Amino acid sequence: MQDTHIPARAAGLFRRLAALFYDSLLLLAIWFVATALLLPFTEGEALPPNNPLLSTYLLFISVFFYGWFWRHGGQTLGMRAWKLQLRNLRPGVISWWQVLLRILVAIPSAALFGAGYLWLLVDKQKLSWHDRYSETCVVRLEQNPDER
């Protein structure tokens, strides 16, 4: 990866975390609805929180949520609010493989006391661990694409 591929306006840590917070609220609401859709199959009984099928189901929904937005414009709703956009460092649209890699590396990035996110504070290109691993970057926009 060369410096020429990184846009000049890489997003800072605060904006990324703010967008992530907005998206987590939306994703939580989606999880509630998705879980409620399962109630007819359990005769109205709550599913135990440690159920591996429920965890897998919610993980699939999360990957689809982020993947859909990132592959269709590069912005989740939280990213739109904070004028951020995910971009591919390779030519073309972000692939589902990149989406999966980004999410799988973002989990330990956050779980290790945020080390993967904090890394962008010392990285010359302002890339987090999951940016580097998935060959993507988050940039700050002056305006959202449809506002131009």
Q: Please provide the average confidence, as pLDDT, over all residues in the chain.
A: 92
Q: What is the pLDDT of residues 32-43, one digit of tens each?
A: 999 999 999 988
Q: pLDDT category, 102, cuts 50, 70, 90?
A: very high
Question: Would you state the pLDDT for residue 8?
Answer: 61
Sequence-ordered alpha helix ranges (H) in the chain: 13-36, 52-71, 77-81, 96-111, 115-118, 129-134
pTM beyond 0.75, yes or no: yes
Amino acid 62: pLDDT:
97
pLDDT at 146: 81
Q: Where along the chain do its domains lie?
A: 10-142
Q: Indicate the range of 17-31, 36-50, 86-100, 113-127 predicted with least confidence.
A: 36-50
Q: What is the DSSP string of 63-96?
A: HHHHHHHHHTTS--HHHHHTTEEEEESSSSSPPH
Query: At 134, which helix (H) or strand (E)?
Result: helix 129-134
Residue 4 has pLDDT above 60, yes or no: no
Q: What is the pLDDT of residues 59-100, one digit of tens each?
A: 999 999 999 999 999 999 999 999 999 999 999 999 999 999
